[in-house]
Structure 1
Amino acid sequence: MRTVAMIVSVSRRTDIPALYTDWVFHRLAAGEVQVPNPMNPAQVRCVSLRPDDVDGFVFWSKYPAPMLDRLEDLGDIPFYFQYSLNPYGADIEPGIPSLERRIETLLRLSDRIGPDRVTWRYDPILLNSTWTPARHEEQFGAMATALAGAARSCVFSFVDRYRKNSKALTRLGIQAWDEPGMDDMARRLSEAARATGLRLETCAEPLDLSTYGIGHAACVDASRFGRFRSGPDRNQRPACGCSPSVDIGMYDTCTLGCVYCYANAGREAALRAFRAHDPEADRLSRPRIPADDSTPPI
């Protein structure tokens, strides 16, 4: 047994299942994908997608409906889904279908692959005059009831402010959580989760919430693919418990427009990339390379 897993993340940087399903299956058929370095797009890595080289796929999505009828095309490579399902409206998540359709999609996905391979993400938890702890408690409880048995666990985190999302969060009056507020919110969620048999875990949150039976998640987890854990992914945040993985997505390609997103410089850039996208190309998009970049093309 190999001690180091080669896990492919699809993708933290963009919603490939919702937007680029044809492309990812073309890449699977080709057996490889070219991934530009986010910090230096002229530097490109060839990532093998051959079954002998991949221990498993972790799919990240808010609406993976386009993939549901093609899951058998993944062959024998193990996979599971991190499914983000929030109750926010179009002012916060403008590019996705209604909550009812997204719940129905999660239920269908669970029917296809089983609840052990679907993790519900209530992520991120926002705080403003509209999205109060009481409202989150109410909405989360209703969603947990609707999803009972369709997922074994739910992962949550509190909103983080980055350079790319700071203005949008300020515009909506999104506030930072303090530690007592996070503790109270976790307690409220734990009560709703307990009523439906749902295991709660946090994503990249250092706060100890074990009093409420809440642990720390490894959203990318080598042990779920039958591999030994190989230590944390040092490319992620300090409190992240994920195993190392290779992400085949690209920033500035997700058109869903979520205001809290840190993966896009702006929705217009993502729309341009989407319009220029070729589903048969060897990479998700052709990034702009500065004219004065001295690195030769690869």
Structure 2
Amino acid sequence: MIINTGQRTDIPAFYPKWLANRFKEGEVCVRNPFNEERVSRYKLSPDTVDVVGFCSKNPAPFFEYMDVIKDYGQYWFVTITPYGKDIEPGVPDKHKILEDFKALSNMVGIDSIGWRYDPILVNDRYTVDYHLRAFEQMTEALDGYTKTVVISFIDLYEKVKRNFPEVSSVSRQDKHFLGKEIVKIATAHGMVVKPCGEGEFLSEYGADCRGCMTIETYEKAIGAKLIVPNKKPARKECACYISGDIGAYDSCGHLCRYCYANNDIEAVKRNMKLHDPDSPFLIGGYREGDIIHDVEMKSYIDNQLSLF
């Protein structure tokens, strides 16, 4: 089984004690965001959870709990962008996150961590030249600590348009130029560029367009072959294997203006107040009328075949 923590919120940054408690107690409950009375209950055990996938802009708050998940396979994506508080008001200083990335890489190993430089947006402040300078500086800092950098260009979802009305799509010309130069810089520092949901157009410059959080990614992290059930991608452009996300929408305190997972700031504030680190739910708890579905938990590891 694969458990994801980061498609809906940043759990390591804002809810690290809760996450540690879930693994200690071996159970987590997830409310269906589209039908709230339906609850999926996962039993957490190293015998059945093969990989835990993380996406975070600030992994350091979870560092004190890393020993709790030492028996689980892990893959971490850490997002580090060049934006300031005008775009990412709740994200800590980027120089600190770069150092935290290195520390995390040393903990989990270079095959279990990737860097996300996304989404890429272009405006009068964050110009094409600005991005290339910032990307080169960050790539130099992370040289030897990851083999992967994921990029994407901003998608104008309805939530994004509402919360960030002045943003615009990146032009085709800028996408090609930035993509080509980013691949060149990353390659010089031993990193493969993996575009996220961008189709195949960057493959001509040397990007790996097969997806970012794929089964192959997980297999390299744990050193084992996985036989997984077929799943439809989250969107047609996406090749990632998304399974068992335990987060909740409208609960991320980074408040990034491009975020697709936060609907509005007031909802985030309300939900964060409802968080209880001892609850099986990230937000709130059991409710009268809940319909509980105990998810079948089994390992996907092919014990007949090892990658190494």
One-letter identity of the residue aligned with 1:207: E
* 1:219 pairs with one of 203, 212, 215: 212
Find the aligned partners of 2:182 and 2:231 in 1 and give their Cα distance.
Answer: 28
CA positional deviation for 1:169: 2.4
* Paired position in structure 2 for 1:139: 134
Say which is worse superposed, 231-240 or 76-85, in terms of deviation.
231-240
1:207-248 alpha-carbon deviations (Å, 9 max, x no partner)? 321221101253333332323464774251111111241100
One-letter identity of the residue aligned with 1:280: D
Find the aligned partners of 2:210 and 2:271 in 1 and give their Cα distance.
Answer: 32
**1:155–1:217 contact (8 Å) kept in structure 2:** no
One-letter identity of the residue aligned with 1:249: G
1:244–1:232 distance in 2 versus 1, CA, 3 Å: farther
* Paired position in structure 1 for 2:61: 66
Q: Equivalences for 1:1-298 in 2 at 5 Å? A: 6-170=1-165, 173-223=166-216, 224-225=218-219, 226-228=224-226, 230=228, 233-286=231-284, 296-298=289-291
Percent of aligned pairs sharing the same letter: 35
CA positional deviation for 1:34: 0.8
Secondary structure in 1 matching 2:9? coil
1:1-22 alpha-carbon deviations (Å, 9 max, x no partner)? xxxxx21001210000101110
Find the aligned partners of 1:161 and 1:286 in 2 and give their Cα distance.
Answer: 31
Find the aligned partners of 1:256 and 1:93 in 2 and give their Cα distance.
Answer: 6
1:75–1:112 distance in 2 versus 1, CA, 3 Å: closer
Secondary structure in 2 matching 1:239? coil
In structure 2, list runs of 5 or more residues that go unmatched. Answer: 292-308
One-letter identity of the residue aligned with 1:263: A
**2:234–2:242 contact (8 Å) kept in structure 1:** no
- Output the TM-score relative to the length of structure 1: 0.90
One-letter identity of the residue aligned with 2:184: E
* Paired position in structure 2 for 1:3: none
Find the aligned partners of 2:2 and 2:255 in 1 and give their Cα distance.
Answer: 27
Secondary structure in 2 matching 1:227? strand
Secondary structure in 1 matching 2:100? helix
1:184-208 alpha-carbon deviations (Å, 9 max, x no partner)? 1101211211221211110111132
In structure 1, list runs of 5 or more residues that go unmatched. Answer: 1-5, 290-294
- Output the TM-score relative to the length of structure 2: 0.87
